[in-house]
Structures are given as C-alpha cells and as structure tokens.
A and B are shown apart, each in its own frame.
Chain A
Amino acid sequence: MMSTIIALIVAAVTFGTVLMYGTLGEILTEKSGNLNLGVEGIMYMGGAFGLAGAFYYEKAAGAAASGPAAIIIAILAAFAAGMAASAIYSFLTITLRANQNVTGLALSIFGTGIGQFVGEFMRVSEGGYVALSNNLKEAFSATIFPKVFVNIPVIGNILFSHTVFFYLAIVVAVLMYLFLKKTKWGMYLTAVGESPSTSDAAGINIVKYKYLATIIGGGISAIGGMVYIMTTAGCVWNHEGLSGVGWLAVALVIFCMWRPLNAIWGSVLFGAMMIMYLRVAIPFIPTELYKILPYIVTVIVLVLTSMKNSRDKQPPASLGNNYFREER
C-alpha cells in the first residue's frame, strides 16, 4: 500500500513537472493581460525542438556528448522555440491588436502542426528512428541528488528521486513569485495586466512589458513540452501523450489563481489526477472519466472563488483585452 502511494506520488510529480512549466509560463503571460491560448501549440514545439536540440547535439558530439550539456541544449532549444511562437502571438495581438482568443487558437493549431512536422521530419530523415543513446536518456531522467538521499525510507523517494527539471521548475516558481511580489518590475507587470491605461498614464512602457512577459512566458511553457518528451516519453517523439497538456496548463492557471507558488502543488495534484487511471484503476470506469477530473476540479475552484468574490483572487482585470492608447 505504502509503495503504491509513493509510486503514485512520484509519477504525479513526473507528469506534474510538465504541467508546472506550462502553467508558470502562462501565469507570466496572463499577468501582462495576454490570454495566450496557444500553450498547447507552444508545448508541442518545445517538445519537438527540445528533442531535436539534444539529438543533433549528440549526433555532432558523438561519444563525447555529455549529459548536462545535452540537458542545457534541450532547454535552450525548447525555450527558443517557445519564444519564437509567442513572439508571433505578441506581434499579432500587441502590435496589430488582433483578437487574442482567435490568435491563441490559431497558434495552438500552428504549433501542434510544426511540432508534428519537426518530429516526423527528424524520424524520416534519420531513417525511421530518433532516440538518444541510453547514456543521455539516463541523464535526463536521473535525479540530481546522491543515492544516499534517495534511499531514505519514504521521503527519499518522494522528495529526492525526481529529475533536474522538477527542481528547476520549483526554482522558476519561487523566482517568479519573488519577481511578482517583491520587485518593481513585477509590480509594473501586474499593473499592466490590471489596467494598461493606468499603467500607460503612469509612464510604464506597456508594449515592452507585454512583449517580454508573453515571450518569456511562452519560452517557459515550451520547456514543459520538452520535459514530457525527454522524461515520460523516453526521448522519443510522441505526439499522443502531449496532446491536451497545454489546455490542462491553461486550466491550471485558473486553478492556481495566477499565483506561481500555487502552481507547485497544483501541478502535482493535476498530475496525480491525470495518471490515476494507470495506478488506481477501478474496473468499469473508463479512463476518460479520470482524465476529466482536472477540469471538473477547475470548475469547482472557479465556482468557489467567484462565490467568495475576493478581489485578490480574480484574473488580471484586463485579461484578454488589447490596449490601444487612443481608443476611447
């Protein structure tokens, strides 16, 4: 029993890590007032380009390829892909003031397409099989803590057995929290998302904040896609498992009430709900029912927060609206 629970938690964290990146990136984006519904596409692109980065690095370096270098290259490749995708989104919505929902949905479709294309292209051009060597695979899924820690009963597995990406995600979450709560720029970013006209009158460069938050947010989200491919999917292009993860991240942002620290436990909780059908399957209940659990929870959270009607727990006031200074 104990081992089942530990296994469930570890698996929840593995999947939760993927969600955490997607969610954190989207929180940053939405804080600027941009509702980027393209997370799904961005994470696909992150997955495909992250794999490509690590794969071609190993191909070029051969036996000399080192694990840490591969990890860094995968992160950078995914991050760059996410930045490029959300740069398109930013240009369309911030500069050209296109409708955010439509642009986000378009980016979702575009990104999944690009991800699929790159993944398939690599597979075909490399003769039907793209995978890292076992050495590198090991580097991606290994923990950064020494065996001693992992071997501590119960908490060893729960706390210290995860991949480097999980701990990195927590660092990102904490940094984002500090940024939003403690720094001037974080306060300005919040102001931009709450009321761009106010921020504009206060002399804040709206366009800069919106662009930066959306593009960096997109980059962070994309890392999530890469983490999925390189850990859960075993360093092989797998588009099926990644499907729907981006939408889950969007729901998770609402669940976390736009707070990065909530994303840490929220992601693990959602991760647990998503893999429950594998671990604690009850016969005759279709897996699809398990998979809608996160969305049901999100709806419940929405209902509860709107019933409480606390102004601090609402979305950024101008979320989804484009800003044009001369519009009355």
Chain B
Amino acid sequence: MENRCAIEMKGITKCFGQVVANDSIDLSINRGEILALLGENGSGKTTLMNMLSGIYQPDDGRILKDGEEIYIHSPREAYGFGIGMIHQHYKLIEVFTAAQNVILGLNDGRMDLKAANEKVRSICQRYGFEINPEEKVYDMSVSQKQTVEIVKVLYRGAEILILDEPTAVLTPQETKKLFAVLENMKKDGKAIVIITHKLNEVMEVSDKVAVLRKGKYIGTVNTAETSPQALTDMMVGRAVTLNIDRPKYDNPKKKLVIENLTCLDEEGVKKLDSVSFTAYTGEILGVAGISGSGQKELLEAIAGLYPIKEGSIRLVGNDGSEKEIVGLTPKKIRQTGIGMAFVPEDRLGMGLVGSMGMTGNMLLRSWKKGKGILVRKKEPSELAEKVLEELEVVTPDINFPVRRLSGGNVQKVLVGREIASEPEVLMTAYAVRGLDINTSYTIYNLLTEEKMRGAAVLYVGEDLDVLLELADRIVVLCGGQVAGTVDARTATKEEIGLMMTQFNTKEGE
C-alpha cells in the first residue's frame, strides 16, 4: 500500500496576481487507482494539475515522485517523469494528421511517419479506439480528437494520466468507452486523475475523490464510502438542494411560432429539416438532442444569424399579432419591438468581448440608446454592479477583462446582461456547460424567474435529468428534424434518449 503512491503534492500554492488559485494543497496520487479531482469552477483543479504537467510552476510547496522531490519546469520534463495530461481544450495541431500530432515533440531521432502510423494503429487496436492515424485533425469529431490526445499520452508511455473534464463533450456511449479504457489502464498499474464536476461520473468510475473548494484542499474520501450528497456538501461548503423548482405559469400564450424551418450549411447539407414547434409565454421549452443535431443552427436562425432556406419564424406580440422575422437582420428583429435575447454556446466568441470588462460588455447591448458621440458609462456600469451583486460574480473589479474570469463567472455576466433587457424570448445554448453545481442552479433559478415573468425561454441542454426537471416541454431534435415534443413532467429519460437516436422510426409510423 505504501509503495503505491506515485505522486505526492505538499503545500502547493499558486497565485495569479491577487487571486490565490491554490492555497497550500496536499494531494497524493496512487498507482492502480482512479482519483477524481472534484470541485466547483474556479476552485483550482486545473491549475493544480497544470503544475504537475509543467504548464505552471508552483509558488510554494513540493512535489514528490516515489518519495523523491522533483521539479517540473516544462511539459517536456513532465513527460520525462511519466506524467501526461489531456487538457480540456485539446492541444492538437489542426493541420497535422493524427500520427503527426502523436509524435510531435518526441526526441527519437529521425522522423518516421510510417512507423508512427503503425504504432498508433496498434495502440488503437489494443484499446478499441477508432481513429485513422493518417486523417487530418481538422476533419475529426470532438471525441476523435480526444482519442488522439489519449493515444498521444499512451504513446509516450505515461504512467500518470491526468484528464481534464474528459467527458464534457462526449456522448454517453463515448463516455462508457472512455471509462472502459480508464479501467484497463488502471489494471495496468497506471495512476489516473480525472478532473470533473459531474458527480455521477465520479461515483461510477473513481476509487477515491479529492475535493477542492475555492483553492483550498477539503479532503480525500473513498468513493465507495461516500454519496453524491456528501460530496456536494464538501464541494460547495453548504448543502444545496438538488431539486429544481418548477412553478406553473397561468395563462400561457403563443410567443414564437416556427413552421417548416429548413436551413442548409455552406456545403449544402441540411442542418435543419422542416422544423416546426411553438413556444409559449411562461414556459421553458427544452431542446434536447445529441450534439450537432441542429440545436446551434436553430437558435442562430431564430436570432437572425443563420441563413434560412425556407420556412417561417413568427414572433407573436402581446396583442396577438404575428410578425414574420425570416430574412430580417438582428437589428431589424429588435425593431419589431419584441425583445429577444440570446445566450450563445460560444460565450467569449459570440457573447462577450473577452478583453473588455463587465461594464464594456454591458455597453454592447445598450450602445444604440446613447445619444451624441460620447460613451455614457454610467448606466452600463450600474448594470454591471447590479449583475455583480445579484449573481455573485467573482471578479476583482467590474473593469477586469472578462476573458480572465472563470467559466462560471463569464456565464453569469452574459446571462445577467441578457436578462437585464427583460426579453420576451430568451434563448440559451448549453447555459450550464462547464459550470459547477452552484452556478448551474443560479442559472436555473434565473431562467425560471424569467419564465414566471412571462418570457418564452428556449433552453438547449445536454443533461437530460436537468431538462426533465427544469423544462415544461421538451422538443427533441435528431439529425436536424424534430423527433417529437414531450411533456417534461411526464416523460422519461429513456423515452427521450430513444427519440434522440432513432428518428427514422417516426417516418416508419
């Protein structure tokens, strides 16, 4: 038991400016064990592991490998110590093939692509991965890219593997496969760390759980001896209820009518295929589907950002009049007088300007209201203060660049801004992706508040449990078509799961 300890971290401290990301953390990683590193967003999980992979240097503390103190100055040195990390944002060269990516940085003399291709193939065969070593990475799907990353680490003979949120972008099947591989590697005597905040996965795959909270180490427990509730308490420091409140809104009216919406992408592939549904006021309409089933295109088409081949999108005013918005620019849509807000999937790309502070980002929504040539910062900065306070955004200053905030805080800024305009239609895409439980609930509550205010909320989500608890109705998309609409109060997960994958049965009926 004593000799199994592969890596020990003692009193690790790391600061970024004034923010203490890690505060004297002790952690041990054992061979033949899967350790889940659990914590909220911004609790310092990734930072801590980045110090093992050589991306960051600790400001204080020691790292011991097999009892000997080591210093990891660079990722290359980390590989030398047998530590390999699979980052959340894949570190791959898009214009290279899989095999080229795998051998990148290896110091084994002459470049021999043929041998590399062969070796990659054999690793794939052994673990049941399905990638072609000669395929360019930009042609690959997300899970294939992740596979390349894992193969890369295995190719280098890593004995300590760190995976940063490996399942965030995987389908349930892919996740199962990944976990099977992890089990195999565990049996091989490798030490595995997965960084995650999905409790069910922690319970499913890990042997031990180490919990971080706000940069501090809370403790390590054996998975078999704990429960999701206990872990949640450790993570957030106080008990949060896992139930989502779902009040019923009286007197719903039609707000958004979509009929036979069809969209093609640049290559002429149908992204949306005669999609029809209606969203009502006072309702959260969930949109479920395997990623890439047309969710993104649907929201962008409604927002006036995606070209529409045919079909109709109508906004219904309070007096019952319907306004066709197909073909209108976002500006024209705003001029219809029916407020629409969009929380896009790509928060820092489409939603916010990363290098500007909260004030500047608030201004983006309201600059048209200003008169004269000078910028009036008073209202946006008041709004920023309000969002900061109400949503508990953690930032040193309202003018601190939002790019440098953690994911959850970025999302709070974005959602806060969008609901401040009191939209009648609120669209959110993966609003809680990458957020911890606490922030997720903040977002759920905000959406429910919006619903009770009388807005029609479109919630594109990936977690079926949440969809079933949060939404009133769920539209299931499959391959760009509507596979069906179900009542979220009565539907089951299995029912929706089936609709997500088997839209062809609908045609057979």
Q: Give the interface of A toward B (CB within 8 A).
A: 182-184, 187-188, 190-191, 194-195, 197-204, 309, 311-312, 317, 325-326, 328
Q: Is the CB of A200 within 8 A of B138?
A: no
Q: Is the CB of B111 within 8 A of A326?
A: no
- Which residues in window 38-60 of B have CB below 8 A to A? 53, 55-56
Q: Is the CB of B91 within 8 A of A201?
A: yes
User: Binary interface profile of B, 47-84, with partner A (CB < 8 Å = 1, else 0)?
Assistant: 00000010110000000000000000011110100000
| B55: contacting residue among A182, A199, A204, A325, CB under 8 A | A325
User: Please, which residues of chain B bring their CB within 8 A of the CB of A183?
Assistant: 111
- Which residues in window 423-482 of B have CB below 8 A to A? none
Q: Is the CB of A194 within 8 A of B93?
A: yes
Q: Is the CB of A198 within 8 A of B74?
A: no
Smallest distance from the beta carbon of B436 to chain A beta carbons, Å? 18
| A188: contacting residue among B16, B53, B104, CB under 8 A | B104
Smallest distance from the beta carbon of A131 to chain B beta carbons, Å? 48
Q: Is the CB of B136 within 8 A of A203?
A: no
B100 within 8 A of A: yes
Query: CA–CA, A188 to B100, complex, Å?
Result: 10
| A200: contacting residue among B74, B95, B403, CB under 8 A | B74
User: Please, which residues of chain A bring their CB within 8 A of the CB of B104?
Assistant: 187-188, 191, 198-199, 202, 204
**Chain B residue with minimal CB distance to A326?**
B56
**Chain B residue with minimal CB distance to A198?**
B91
Q: Is the CB of A317 within 8 A of B94?
A: yes
B105 within 8 A of A: yes
- Which residues in window 107-153 of B have CB below 8 A to A? 110-111, 136, 138, 152
> What number of B residues sit within 8 Å (CB to CB) of A?
28
Q: Is the CB of A311 within 8 A of B136?
A: yes
Q: Is the CB of A188 within 8 A of B93?
A: no
User: Please, which residues of chain B bring their CB within 8 A of the CB of A201?
Assistant: 53, 55, 75, 85, 87, 91
**Chain B residue with minimal CB distance to A182?**
B111
B193 within 8 A of A: no
Smallest distance from the beta carbon of B473 to chain A beta carbons, Å? 38
Q: Please, could you name 22 A-B residue pairs with CB atoms under 8 Å apart, sorted by A?
A: A183-B111, A184-B111, A191-B93, A191-B96, A191-B105, A197-B91, A198-B104, A199-B104, A199-B105, A201-B53, A201-B91, A202-B76, A202-B91, A202-B105, A203-B77, A311-B136, A317-B94, A325-B55, A326-B16, A326-B55, A326-B56, A328-B16
Smallest distance from the beta carbon of A198 to chain B beta carbons, Å? 4
User: Please, which residues of chain B bring their CB within 8 A of the CB of A197?
Assistant: 91
**Chain A residue with minimal CB distance to B403?**
A328
B404 within 8 A of A: yes
Q: Is the CB of A188 within 8 A of B91?
A: no
User: Please, which residues of chain A bring their CB within 8 A of the CB of B85?
Assistant: 201
Q: Is the CB of A187 within 8 A of B96?
A: yes
Q: Given known contacts A311-B136, A325-B55, is B105 in contact with A195 (CB within 8 Å)?
A: no
Q: Is the CB of B404 within 8 A of A328?
A: yes
Q: Is the CB of A198 within 8 A of B111?
A: no
Q: Is the CB of A203 within 8 A of B76?
A: yes
Q: Given known contacts A187-B104, A311-B136, A326-B56, is B75 in contact with A203 (CB within 8 Å)?
A: yes
B92 within 8 A of A: yes
Q: Is the CB of B95 within 8 A of A204?
A: no
- Which residues in window 7-28 of B have CB below 8 A to A? 16
Query: CA–CA, A326 to B100, complex, Å?
Result: 26
Query: CA–CA, A240 to B152, complex, Å?
Result: 54
Smallest distance from the beta carbon of A296 to chain B beta carbons, Å? 27
Query: CA–CA, A194 to B76, complex, Å?
Result: 19
Query: CA–CA, A309 to B265, complex, Å?
Result: 14
Q: Is the CB of A187 within 8 A of B100?
A: yes
Q: Given known contacts A187-B104, A187-B111, A311-B138, is B93 in contact with A203 (CB within 8 Å)?
A: no
Query: CA–CA, A326 to B16, complex, Å?
Result: 9
Smallest distance from the beta carbon of A96 to chain B beta carbons, Å? 20
How would you classify the secondary structure of chain A's contact residues: helix, strand, loop or mixed? helix
User: Please, which residues of chain B bring their CB within 8 A of the CB of A184?
Assistant: 110-111
- Which residues in window 348-384 of B have CB below 8 A to A? none
User: Please, which residues of chain B bring their CB within 8 A of the CB of A317?
Assistant: 94-95
| B93: contacting residue among A182, A195, A200, A325, CB under 8 A | A195
User: Please, which residues of chain A bring their CB within 8 A of the CB of B16?
Assistant: 326, 328
Smallest distance from the beta carbon of A194 to chain B beta carbons, Å? 5
**Chain A residue with minimal CB distance to B78?**
A203
A-B contact count (CB 8 A): 72
User: Please, which residues of chain A bring their CB within 8 A of the CB of B138?
Assistant: 311
User: Please, which residues of chain A bring their CB within 8 A of the CB of B53?
Assistant: 201
**Chain B residue with minimal CB distance to A202?**
B105
User: Please, which residues of chain B bring their CB within 8 A of the CB of A199?
Assistant: 93, 104-105
| B95: contacting residue among A182, A203, A311, A326, CB under 8 A | A311
Q: Is the CB of B105 within 8 A of A204?
A: yes
Q: Given known contacts A191-B104, A328-B404, is B55 in contact with A198 (CB within 8 Å)?
A: no
Q: Given known contacts A201-B55, A328-B404, is B95 in contact with A188 (CB within 8 Å)?
A: no
Q: Is the CB of B105 within 8 A of A188?
A: yes
- Which residues in window 221-256 of B have CB below 8 A to A? none
Smallest distance from the beta carbon of A312 to chain B beta carbons, Å? 6
Query: CA–CA, A328 to B47, complex, Å?
Result: 11
Q: Is the CB of A198 within 8 A of B93?
A: yes
User: Please, which residues of chain B bring their CB within 8 A of the CB of A195?
Assistant: 91-94
Query: CA–CA, A271 to B501, complex, Å?
Result: 59
Smallest distance from the beta carbon of A103 to chain B beta carbons, Å? 20
**Chain B residue with minimal CB distance to A317?**
B94
Question: Closest 6 CB pairs between A and B?
Answer: A203-B76, A202-B105, A184-B111, A198-B91, A203-B105, A201-B75
Query: CA–CA, A188 to B104, complex, Å?
Result: 7
- Among A182, A198, A201: residue with most chain B CB under 10 A: A201
Query: CA–CA, A187 to B99, complex, Å?
Result: 12
Smallest distance from the beta carbon of B190 to chain A beta carbons, Å? 19
User: Please, which residues of chain B bring their CB within 8 A of the CB of A203?
Assistant: 74-77, 79, 105
Q: Is the CB of A312 within 8 A of B105?
A: no
Query: CA–CA, A290 to B105, complex, Å?
Result: 47
Smallest distance from the beta carbon of B434 to chain A beta carbons, Å? 14
User: Please, which residues of chain B bring their CB within 8 A of the CB of A194?
Assistant: 93-96
Q: Is the CB of B95 within 8 A of A190?
A: yes
Smallest distance from the beta carbon of B214 to chain A beta carbons, Å? 18
- Which residues in window 260-289 of B have CB below 8 A to A? 266
**Chain B residue with minimal CB distance to A184?**
B111
**Chain B residue with minimal CB distance to A203?**
B76
Query: CA–CA, A317 to B96, complex, Å?
Result: 12
Query: CA–CA, A197 to B91, complex, Å?
Result: 7
Query: CA–CA, A199 to B104, complex, Å?
Result: 7
User: Please, which residues of chain A bring their CB within 8 A of the CB of B55?
Assistant: 200-201, 325-326
Smallest distance from the beta carbon of A27 to chain B beta carbons, Å? 15
User: Please, which residues of chain A bring their CB within 8 A of the CB of B74?
Assistant: 200, 203
User: Please, which residues of chain B bring their CB within 8 A of the CB of A190?
Assistant: 93, 95-96
Smallest distance from the beta carbon of A30 to chain B beta carbons, Å? 14
Smallest distance from the beta carbon of B406 to chain A beta carbons, Å? 9
Smallest distance from the beta carbon of B158 to chain A beta carbons, Å? 12
Query: CA–CA, A190 to B55, complex, Å?
Result: 21
Query: CA–CA, A328 to B92, complex, Å?
Result: 17
Query: CA–CA, A204 to B79, complex, Å?
Result: 12
User: Please, which residues of chain B bring their CB within 8 A of the CB of A204?
Assistant: 76, 104-105
- Among B55, B79, B95: residue with most chain A CB under 10 A: B95
Query: CA–CA, A299 to B319, complex, Å?
Result: 52
Smallest distance from the beta carbon of B413 to chain A beta carbons, Å? 16
**Chain B residue with minimal CB distance to A312?**
B95
Query: CA–CA, A190 to B96, complex, Å?
Result: 9
